[in-house]
Copies of this chain bind each other. A is one copy, B any other.
Amino acid sequence: MKIGEASELSGLPTKTIRYYEDIGLVRSDRRDNGYRDYGEAEIHKLRFIQRSRGLGFTVEQCRTLLSLYNDPDRSSADVRALAENHLEEIERKIQELAGMRSTLSQLVSSCHGDHRPDCPILNDLAGSG
């Protein structure tokens, strides 16, 4: 199967699949004409990565997850630890964004938003609040 079909089946852009090959995350066979050729196993791998990325794991974490997936002697504790770390990271980001949202929504609602130049948002950013 050519890269276009692999793209459709995996949900990843062809550019991204080539990039993953560049960084050694996946591989591909080649046909005589130089085209990449994918089998079921690689598609499976690509979908695995697509799902992992969709949960916000970094590409390096995906690499680790893949190697854990392919290691029959892994312990589920290792996988869980990785996922827990990532979950904490997500939690941290949400907290940070929630703080911004809180401040910003206050500022937005305190700004009348008309043709006049007076603006509490700018006043706050300027430190006069």
Distance between Cα atoms of A52 and B107 in the complex (Å): 12
* In contact, B56 and A97 (Cβ under 8 angstroms): yes
Distance between Cα atoms of A97 and B97 in the complex (Å): 10
* In contact, A52 and B125 (Cβ under 8 angstroms): yes
Total interface residues in chain A, CB < 8 Å: 53
Q: How far is the CB of A50 from chain B (nearest CB, A)?
A: 9
Binding site for B on A (CB under 8 A): 44, 47-48, 51-52, 54-56, 65, 68-69, 71-77, 79-81, 83-84, 86-87, 90-91, 93-94, 97-98, 100-101, 103-105, 107-108, 111-119, 121-122, 124-127
* In contact, A83 and B111 (Cβ under 8 angstroms): yes
